[in-house]
Amino acid sequence: MTADHPADLTIVTLLPRLLDTNGDAANARVLAQRARWAGLSARIVAVQSAADLPEAVDLVVIGSGTDTDLVAARDALATLAEPLRAWLAGGVPVVAVGTGWELLSAGLDLPDGSSVDGLGLVAGRASALPVRVADDLAVDAGGLRLLGFENHVRGYTGGATALGTVSYGIGNGDGTEGVVDGSFTGTHLHGPVLARNPELADRLLRAACHARGLTLAPSAQTESVDGIAKAARNQVAVRLSLTSE
């Protein structure tokens, strides 16, 4: 593949009409733009049903929704369970936020004591917290500091590996935040998380590029935007009495 004919990364965003309450479907736009700044072409495919699925998929984004839409979103995702299972088995990077993540687990607890079955595609389940959490969230994740906003009534238990440890906020409710299960990343971080934390975006992009034999090369535009994101994170860090980057 020559520089005149850059590879085309296909980024799928699942159910953006139902799962975009906090703007998290925009994580797909972040991935696509960062790929383009690195000299690659990228397209975003919004998948509302199996009929919308492209032939090849390099990355998958799932946003968050409301509890009133949980069953509708679960049933819609269930029609896509087989491709989701195949993507995860094949190592395709999948990032899911909030209820989009929870619906792929074994199940979700509701405030009234009832529960909703999930698809069981990732380990663990979304367990009830004593009260709703709505505040800043800071996470140490394998040498990265991740910052965002959490707004949820459930923690998470039984995940394969946590995304990181909480330095401010609640996260999963046990001092950890998120889950990493093979090529899957689940998190409570809104923001959108990949716009506020571009190093996490590039971690996902590198995995997708590696599978295609491509290299993700930062550009002057990337470095400029990353500087803005870093300054914004440092402002939050100061407010939360955390060490600046």
Residues at the binding site are 132
Residue from 98, 13, 19 nearest 61 by CA: 13
- C-alpha dist (Å) from residue 113 to 110, 119, 200, 234, 240: 6, 20, 35, 39, 33
Residue from 19, 24, 15, 67 nearest 45 by CA: 15
Residue found by looking up tokens 């980057």 in the block: 245
User: What is the Cα–Cα distance from 154 to 131, expressed in whole angstroms?
Assistant: 9
- C-alpha dist (Å) from residue 145 to 75, 187, 233: 35, 14, 9
* Secondary structure letter of residue 127 according to DSSP: P
Catalytic residue among 5, 188, 190, 210: 190
As given in the structure block, the two tokens for residue 84 are: 């989701």
Indicate if 190 belongs to the active site.
yes
Q: Which amino acid is at 189?
A: L
Residue from 161, 195, 187, 163 nearest 104 by CA: 187
Residues at the binding site for substrate are 132
Alpha-helix residue ranges (DSSP H) falling in the chain: 27-37, 70-78, 81-89, 99-102, 193-196, 198-212, 220-239
Residue found by looking up tokens 């935040």 in the block: 177
By annotation, the residues acting in catalysis are 190
